[in-house]
Amino acid sequence: MENQKYLMDYLNIEYIQYKDNTFEAKMNLTAFHSQPYGILHGGATIALGESAAGYASNQLLDNNQVAVGQNITANHMKAKNIEGYILAKGRLLHQGKTSHVWLIEMLDEKDELISIVSVTNAVINYNRV
């Protein structure tokens, strides 16, 4: 399974940084992220949001827990051509024992709002070690 690839490998995420209940993630856009019309596929934006929020939630947990996506809501505000990048800026709205809620702004390289994504992660018992 050494050559196993996962969705995160294909999303072209340059980095995910977590600090003080906020995160930032940058996804460089390629044809992979496109609808047939040459604009950003909303599913790629949602996948970025869930991936980055999952990473951030897991920074808050013990090794015997893991955060998994439970609910995602997205509002796409503006079409984005397949060029440049999307910057996801998230902040933690709720940190409970069994769930975390993140609000994420998706911005383009011109700092224009492309989408707003809300991610609820369920916290489950699972040994990550």
The helix (H) or strand (E) run that includes residue 92 is: strand 85-95
Between 68 and 129, residue with greater pLDDT:
68
pLDDT tens profile 49-105: 999 999 999 999 999 999 999 999 999 999 999 999 999 999 999 999 999 999 999
Residue 127 pLDDT > 90, yes or no? no
The class level of CATH for 7-125 reads: alpha beta
At residue 106, the pLDDT reads: 98
At residue 4, the pLDDT reads: 85
Going by C-beta distance under 8 Å and a sequence separation of 6 or more, which residues neighbour residue 47? Answer: 7, 11
With cut-offs at 50, 70 and 90, classify the pLDDT of residue 5.
confident
Give one DSSP letter per residue of 45-90, joined into a string: HHHHHHHHHHHHHHHTS-TTEEEEEEEEEEEE-S--BSSSEEEEEE
Rounded Cα distance between 72 and 122, Å, is: 11
At residue 129, the pLDDT reads: 65
Q: List the structure tokens of 25.
A: 């993630």
What integer best gives the mean pLDDT of the chain? 95
